[in-house]
Structure 1
Amino acid sequence: MSVRIRLARGGAKKRPYYRIVAADQRAARDGGFLEKLGSYNPLLPAEAENRVTLNEERIRYWLGNGAQVSDRVAKFLDKAGITNNTAKLRGTGKRAEEAAKKKANAEAEAAA
């Protein structure tokens, strides 16, 4: 069984609320999950303390057991300091090129 840490949508129409869950990757997005690991409320301001809540101990447990992380959750974990540089820059075109250049410059400065 392949486990993925991802978002499961809840809330009413046009009022999204997400649970951060550990689930079998074949399970439906909002279907059954193994464990709730946190929550994400995108309606709160970016500075709000309760916008993203994480159970760090359990997340580290699942990562230690080989769980994969979705792109959005990877950004949350990087920001919280649980993981380092797991978020991937995706996309094409001019904006993706600029992001790749910034990342390369940051790595060059860190190495120097």
Structure 2
Amino acid sequence: MKKKIMPFFTVLLITLNLYSQECQETVPKDTLTTNYVPNEETAKKIAEAIWLPIFGERIFEQRPYKATLVNDVWKVRGLMPLPCRNEPGCRGGTAYIEIRKSDCKILLVKHGR
């Protein structure tokens, strides 16, 4: 039984290897999209989508979010909620996230205090 299966697996592995090489060669590198987070508004929407399941609906109190682009990384942070926003001694923190512009990879998520 083993003698019949081994040639089959050998042919299968060679075929898969050739197919993967063929697929890689047919997609020109310069046509791939490398700007998945093109602007500030997109970065804010992605941030909110990530924060919502982690921090809950209280994240909406930190609107409007502030997004800045630094070295191909979007840094998005929330604002202090309204009761604390204008009081200098108020305790609390805001949500923060770093999103790479080129591939939308989430680099860091935290909530400051």
- TM-score, scaled to structure 1: 0.24
Structure with greater helix share of residues: 2
Structure with greater strand share of residues: 1
Name the larger-Rg structure.
2
- TM-score, scaled to structure 2: 0.24
